[in-house]
């Protein structure tokens, strides 16, 4: 844990931009640098998105994706024997950096290499790897990831597409059973995918075995649809119109038995279903858990979009002037004041800047855990479930942050921010869907809350929402709190306060990370306990479990969000502590941002803290004053703090907007 931060930001304190960039780039600095150097070559795609027809722009995006594939930047997570880099951590770093550029290109890269290729890699076995991966990595074979249906998105277990095994021919017959079972919003499907990984209910010998994935051809080499396959274009979208989303229906499409991606289950030629995982629920969640990279990637892309928006808005605020300030004695008119010198402007941008840094370091921790699991460094059941939960929660917070930050930055640039040339139009339109793809954020936080309440118990995978209600209701509330592990820390947290356990109301220690963490941990523990009590009280009163869950759903979301907020803050505090004290002022700079992030979060939720006795009105006002003071201390460093993101100049586009210097 970092020591109490000074956050003094004296006039002589400067930011070593190169040093801060290196700190942000971390382990994969070379990968990020390579992608940054690559991106300006494709800066013209940002303009093409505004000037080309939709069909022409889709072809342009496809060509760029194939060019990027040729550099190796898109395949870093695949095994080296198939042309990849053999490093999943490097692939996340590359994807995160690609998000500085056109987001249609980014999403098409994600569909091809993350979803389609990732499903074959993680769910398939040697025969699938040998058959497909080299062509996937090179871009010779374009594919899609056909999971979502018109009638089912988040509830994957209830998908309506069926794959029935025909033992007489050793084939699976893939069928769309109803209009609601049509695959929908499938990237790459409308024009370019020749093959799909299709998720379907597996039926063998009249018995259902739940959702499995199969490789199903869609088009021949000339692009013509194959028999039994029908595809429609989803049409214009709010954004990402360079991605060819489409709907797919299957009418008795036959694929060989070997098309089943059989890492976790298989069907023998005579029609026997076999799996080492006996529980259907655990098998399903194990399968989905291998695809967690998508959520990690989307969260990372959201953070990058926030960095681009903040870079433009801060630099605009350092150039644009508004209203005369007058001289100190009020006798003469003065020059117009820079926008960024106004306290309100600082209040709008700097807490979001600090939160972007916090989420960057939270993503760094998450990507490291992902790499460790998939490289086999730490790969046990509990570690995977904790990874899935952290990925779900971080993705939710990072993408909500992107939506909020892009909008605030657009407004902070006034009318100029409304012009497409200044990039906010594309950033707003293209990132908005991040909050709902790779999992709707509210559903993802329900997943986090479910894990907190059951402590990722051995029967966790078999519990749907109603099962979770019954499971929690069957325990004493104290047992539930004990299972969360937060309860066991609570007394330690209170004792860690600067003035001991009675210091919740004191005016000292506002910039002490022990105080910040104590507040965040108390909120988390209290909310989890509140959910457990409400669940138990409802069931004990004889209410239907479904109604009980519906009534406490908002509390589940609040508890899960508080949990992830605590993880984000811990990641930031730990990063500050890891920086040497004499490292060119970087530690002081990060301390300043960490304090601003933590106190802004407490200020934003001060009503809750006051309601629950953790803040007095006096201390709440003191925190508000402190946030304002921290914003003023950030002001002299603002340009360097956004320059450290190292968004390539050509990708900012807003040259008329940000061309000047502070």
Could you list the active site residues?
Answer: 438
CA dist., res. 637 & res. 649, Å (int): 19
CB atoms within 10 A of CB 489: 16
Inter-CA distances, 286 with 136, 213, 336, 381, 485, Å: 24, 13, 60, 9, 24
Beta-bridge partners for 212: 200
CA dist., res. 482 & res. 551, Å (int): 24
Beta-bridge partners for 457: none
**Tokens at 526, concatenated:** 């209290």
- Virtual torsion, Cα 338, 344, 345, 350, nearest 10 deg: 130
Give how far the C-alpha of residue 248 lies from the chain's centroid of Cα atoms, to the nearest Å. 27
Q: Which residues contact 101 (CB under 8 A, 6 or more apart)?
A: 39, 42, 43, 45, 46, 651
Helix pair angle (293-317, 381-412), 10° resolution: 20
CA dist., res. 48 & res. 50, Å (int): 5
- Opening angle at CA 484, ends 482 and 487, nearest 5: 55
Q: Is 228 exposed, middle or buried (0-12, 13-18, 19+ CB in 10 A)?
A: middle
Beta-bridge partners for 322: 337
Q: Is residue 103 within 8 Å of residue 119, measured between CB atoms?
A: no
CA dist., res. 451 & res. 457, Å (int): 8
Inter-CA distances, 331 with 116, 538, 564, Å: 69, 69, 53
DSSP 206: T
**Tokens at 589, concatenated:** 């700079």
Q: Which of 252, 106, 120, 246 is nearest to 186 (CA)?
A: 246
**3-state class of 168 per DSSP?**
coil
CA dist., res. 649 & res. 315, Å (int): 12
Q: Is residue 283 within 8 Å of residue 237, measured between CB atoms?
A: no
Beta-bridge partners for 253: 174
The helix (H) or strand (E) run that includes residue 632 is helix 617-634
**Tokens at 455, concatenated:** 């402590």
**3-state class of 215 per DSSP?**
strand
CA dist., res. 646 & res. 20, Å (int): 10
Q: Which of 103, 73, 106, 105 is nearest to 90 (CA)?
A: 73
CA dist., res. 295 & res. 439, Å (int): 8
**3-state class of 401 per DSSP?**
helix
Counting every residue, how long is the chain? 662
């Amino acid at each position: 844990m970092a020591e109490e931060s000074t956050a003094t930001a004296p006039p002589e304190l400067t930011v070593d931009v190169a040093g801060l960039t290196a700190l942000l780039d971390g382990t994969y600095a070379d990968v990020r640098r390579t992608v940054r150097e690559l991106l300006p070559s494709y800066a013209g795609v940002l303009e093409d998105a505004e000037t080309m027809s939709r069909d022409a722009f889709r072809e342009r995006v496809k060509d760029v994706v194939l060019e990027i594939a040729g550099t190796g930047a898109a395949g870093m997570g695949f095994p080296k024997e198939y042309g990849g880099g053999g490093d999943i951590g490097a692939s996340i770093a590359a994807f995160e950096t690609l998000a500085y550029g056109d987001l249609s290109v980014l999403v098409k890269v994600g569909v091809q290499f993350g979803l389609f290729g990732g499903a074959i890699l993680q769910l398939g076995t040697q025969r699938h790897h040998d058959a497909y991966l080299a062509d996937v990595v090179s871009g010779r074979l374009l594919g899609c990831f056909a999971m979502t249906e018109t009638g089912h998105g988040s509830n994957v277990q209830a998908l309506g597409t069926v794959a029935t095994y025909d033992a007489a021919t050793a084939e699976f017959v893939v069928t769309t059973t109803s209009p609601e079972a049509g695959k929908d919003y499938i990237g790459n499907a409308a024009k370019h995918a020749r093959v799909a990984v299709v998720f379907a209910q597996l039926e063998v010998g009249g018995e259902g075995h739940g959702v499995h994935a199969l490789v199903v051809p869609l088009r021949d080499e000339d692009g013509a649809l194959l028999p039994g396959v029908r595809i429609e274009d989803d049409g214009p979208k709010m954004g990402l119109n360079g991605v060819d989303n489409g709907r797919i229906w299957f009418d008795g499409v036959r694929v060989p038995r070997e098309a089943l991606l059989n890492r976790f289950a298989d069907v023998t030629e005579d029609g026997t279903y076999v799996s080492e995982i006996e529980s259907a629920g655990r098998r399903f969640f194990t399968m989905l858990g291998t695809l967690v990279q998508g959520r990690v990637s989307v969260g990372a892309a959201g953070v990058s979009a926030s960095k681009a928006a903040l870079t433009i808005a801060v630099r605009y605020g350092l150039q644009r002037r508004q209203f005369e300030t007058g001289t100190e004695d009020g006798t003469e008119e003065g020059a117009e004041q820079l926008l960024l010198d106004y306290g309100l402007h600082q209040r709008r941008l700097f807490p979001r800047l600090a939160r972007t840094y916090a989420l960057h370091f939270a993503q760094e921790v998450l990507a490291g855990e992902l790499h460790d699991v998939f490289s086999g460094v730490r790969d046990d059941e509990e570690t995977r479930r904790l990874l899935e939960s952290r990925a779900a929660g971080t993705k939710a917070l990072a993408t909500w942050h992107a939506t909020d930050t892009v909008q605030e930055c657009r407004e902070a640039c006034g009318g100029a921010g409304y012009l497409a040339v200044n990039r906010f139009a594309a950033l707003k339109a293209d990132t908005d869907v991040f909050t709902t793809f790779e999992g709707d954020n509210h559903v993802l936080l329900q997943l986090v809350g479910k894990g907190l309440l059951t402590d990722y118990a051995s029967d966790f995978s078999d519990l749907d929402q109603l099962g979770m209600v019954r499971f929690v209701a069957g325990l004493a509330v104290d047992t539930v709190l004990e299972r969360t592990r937060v309860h066991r820390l609570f007394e330690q947290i209170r004792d860690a306060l600067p003035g001991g356990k009675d210091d919740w109301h004191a005016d000292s220690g506002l910039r002490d990370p022990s105080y910040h963490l104590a507040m965040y941990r108390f909120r988390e523990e209290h909310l989890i306990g509140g959910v457990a009590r409400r669940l138990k009280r409802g069931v004990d009163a004889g209410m239907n479990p479904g109604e009980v869950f519906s009534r406490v759903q908002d509390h589940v979301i609040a508890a899960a969000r508080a949990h992830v907020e605590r993880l984000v803050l811990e990641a930031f505090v730990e990063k500050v502590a890891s920086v040497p004290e004499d490292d060119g002022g970087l530690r002081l700079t990060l301390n300043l941002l960490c304090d601003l992030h933590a106190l802004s979060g407490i200020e934003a939720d001060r009503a809750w803290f006051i309601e629950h006795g953790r803040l007095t009105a006096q201390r709440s006002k003191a925190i508000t004053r402190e946030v304002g003071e921290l914003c003023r201390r950030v002001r002299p460093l603002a340009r360097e703090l956004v320059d450290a993101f190292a968004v390539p100049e050509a990708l900012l586009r807003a040259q008329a907007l940000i061309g000047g210097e502070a």
